[in-house]
Amino acid sequence: MEDGKGVTNEAKNVGQTYQEQAERAGEQHQRTAEKGLDAVLRSWGEFNDGASAIAAEVTGYSKQAFNDAAQNFERLIGAKSLEQAIEIQTQYAKKAYDDHIAEMSKLSQMYLKLTRNAYRPSEQGPSAKR
């Protein structure tokens, strides 16, 4: 009978050891998953911030471009000669082109910053904090 109890106790101990290891592994998996979710949420927050800044920039640029076009139209209406109208339109076209190129350069820098900032939490790993 002693041998039977010894085997039973040993089996219980082995079972308990494996159960404890499984619980520790489960807890570690849960902590890792939480850290990964935190990194995803930080990444999404960075993306949201960058996208909002880009939207605000595009809105501001669009308003300014519309106002510039309206002012140019008023100048064209007031032109005294064809030569003056051509000069007004030429100046407007040059300014509009320069403004557009500058804005596209600024937006491309903003997109680059957005991409870097949104990617950084996953690059730093799940344990990094904001």
Q: Quick: pLDDT tens for 98-125.
A: 999 999 999 999 999 999 998 887 776 6
* Residue 129 belongs to some domain of the structure: no
Backbone dihedral angles phi then psi of residue 79, each to the nearest 5 degrees: -65, 140
Instruction: Tell me how many domains the chain contains.
Output: 1
* Residue 37 belongs to some domain of the structure: yes
pLDDT at residue 129 tops 90 = no
> 1-10, 84-93, 121-130: lowest mean pLDDT where?
121-130
pLDDT at residue 130 tops 50 = no
Higher pLDDT, 77 or 22: 77
* Residue 33 belongs to some domain of the structure: yes
Beta carbons of 129 and 57 less than 8 angstroms apart: no
Looking at residue 124, its pLDDT comes to 67
Residue type, 40: V
Domain extent at residue 29: 2-124
Beta carbons of 117 and 46 less than 8 angstroms apart: yes
Distance CA 118, CA 50 (A): 8
* Residue 111 belongs to some domain of the structure: yes
**pTM (two decimals):** 0.68
- For 34-82, what is each residue's pLDDT tens digit? 888 888 888 888 899 999 999 999 999 999 999 999 999 999 999 999 9
* Residue 25 belongs to some domain of the structure: yes
> Angle formed by the axes of helices 82-124 and 2-77, to 10°?
170
DSSP symbol at 130:
-
